[in-house]
Structure 1
Amino acid sequence: MWKAAKVVKANPDKAQLPVREAALREHKLLYMAVPKIATLKPFYLLDSAKVDVEAAASKRAADVAPTVGPDTMQPVDMVVCGTVAVDRRGVRIGKGAGYSDIEMGLLAEAGLLGPKTVIVTTVHELQVVDGEIPETEHDFRVDLVITPHEIIECPSAPRPPGIIWKHLSQEKISAIPALSSRYATRVQ
């Protein structure tokens, strides 16, 4: 799946830096979320023809890569997300701020996630829990859990439906430019 993926979206966390570096070394088009989705165009466009592998680090990407919004992005073949804990069904817990869910919602609303988009997380085996993690409507599941010693294929699950506005506070919407601009047009 990795070899077949031409367009990869990854989070900016340090734990996924080796994945982002590999994507650039292998000449994949890489989208990396801007930390905290803090810009109107919430993703860095990392094209190995235009940036070096060091651009995979979020601080370097901010200096050399343009930001883009979902309206100008290509469909995504693989999403690599960060995770604090994940169960064997693919239900995951992030760091708690909801940024990954919002990033996925933005991509889903733009039609950039299809049924063949593979959603992956890379974790230490201690982060894989045997019990079931509770999930909500805005959570997304992963298709694969990759640990240093195991690849866990998870049961197929529906893709994220988009932004679930009722789950977002006005404070959260206001703090994320890509959300506040969409919210303004949504309520008009």
Structure 2
Amino acid sequence: MESQNLADFPRPVHHRIPNFKGSYLACQRIKDLQVFARTQEVKVDPDKPLEGARLLALQSQKTLLVPTPRLRTGLFNKIIPPPGATKDILRKCATSQGVRNFSTPIGLDSRVLVDLIVIGSVAVSEKGWRIGKGEGYADLEYAMMVSMGAVCEGTPVVTIVHDCQVVDFPEALLEDHDLTVDYILTPTRVITTGCQRPKPAGIMWSKITREMLEKMPILRSLRDRERRAGKDVTLAEPGCWHPDPPSTARRPQNTPWSGAGPAPGCQHLEGGTGPAAEGHVT
């Protein structure tokens, strides 16, 4: 993307979810999805190329949830524009600065039911297989939402990328913790993947280290909750999980992943939310 001058601020785009020229146009295509029209609560990651999707959610008067950076202070922030917010104010609310200035934390006991998830990617295939920047946070966020009962397997996942990021790669690159996507939005296309690979179904505590618990208090709270529910919350042995440093991370090898189990509190929007509700548009 850098060599072809397709990248946009912030640059260089290495070791991050890359912003790209045409990202706002790609975000506009979310309006082509029927699931977006039915959505009440949308979780959109804080990456720069997703800024247009956050703005559309606010303009459409949907509840917008944005994950906290690296999950250090919680899982979600709810973006709350000031009363009578103008279009310019809503644009500010959709930026990273706006997320800091116009948000309130959402606790584990809040009744959250996310209808639609929007995430960034480094690469994605038309089959719905996704590669992130190698730190595993999007996968862990999803697993935590499952544990909270905020999502279920039928909750649609959308990624927004440049056309050049849609590539073929072998399924062998994926691991059980990897989150797949149902829709891919680019500046020129809306792709329905029809992906049948199961999404993460909860946190696998045997892949979580004590160091991660120390850095992410919400993980400690979730672990206590699941322990009281009688689940096995045995942590990884010391030294079992070491994320690659950003300078070398290309494919997460031992990032936190999820285990089997039903998603509690799962509900569906009337009319369905899964990929079967949409057609394939090119």
- Higher alpha-carbon deviation: 56-65 or 121-130: 56-65
Q: 1:74 aligns with which of 99, 112, 118?
A: 112
- Normalised TM-score (structure 1): 0.89
Q: Which residue of 2 aligns with 1:43?
A: 76
Any gaps of 5 or more consecutive residues in structure 2? 1-34, 229-282
Any gaps of 5 or more consecutive residues in structure 1? none
- Higher alpha-carbon deviation: 52-61 or 17-26: 52-61
Q: Distance in 1 between matches of 2:111 and 2:120?
A: 21
Higher normalized strand content (fraction of residues): 1
Q: Distance in 2 between matches of 1:80 and 1:15?
A: 11
Q: Which residue of 2 aligns with 1:32?
A: 66
> C-alpha deviations, 1:71-130, integer Å up to 9, x for none?
314211110011111112211111111111111111111222134421000000111112
* Aligned partner of residue 212 in structure 2, secondary structure: helix
Identity %: 32
Q: Distance in 2 between matches of 1:125 and 1:167?
A: 34
Task: Tell whether the 8 Å contact from 2:153 to 2:201 is kept in structure 1 after alignment.
Answer: no
Work out whether 1:126 is the aligned partner of 2:173. no
Q: 2:128 aligns with which of 74, 87, 90?
A: 90
Q: Which structure's CA Rg is the greater one?
A: 2
- Higher alpha-carbon deviation: 114-123 or 175-184: 175-184
Misfit runs of 4+, over 4 Å: 48-52, 184-188
Distance 1:115 1:105, change over 3 A: closer
Q: Distance in 2 between matches of 1:91 and 1:23?
A: 25
Shift of residue 29, structure 1, vs aligned partner: 0.5
Task: Tell whether the 8 Å contact from 2:124 to 2:130 is kept in structure 1 after alignment.
Answer: yes
Q: How many residues align structurally?
A: 187
> C-alpha deviations, 1:107-159, integer Å up to 9, x for none?
11122213442100000011111222521111111101111111221123433
- Normalised TM-score (structure 2): 0.61
Task: Tell whether the 8 Å contact from 1:138 to 1:167 is kept in structure 2 after alignment.
Answer: no
- Higher alpha-carbon deviation: 66-75 or 139-148: 66-75
Q: Give 1:56's aligned amino acid.
A: A
Work out whether 1:4 is the aligned partner of 2:38. yes
RMSD of aligned Cα (Å): 2.0
Q: Which residue of 2 aligns with 1:181?
A: 221
Task: Tell whether the 8 Å contact from 1:20 to 1:30 is kept in structure 2 after alignment.
Answer: yes
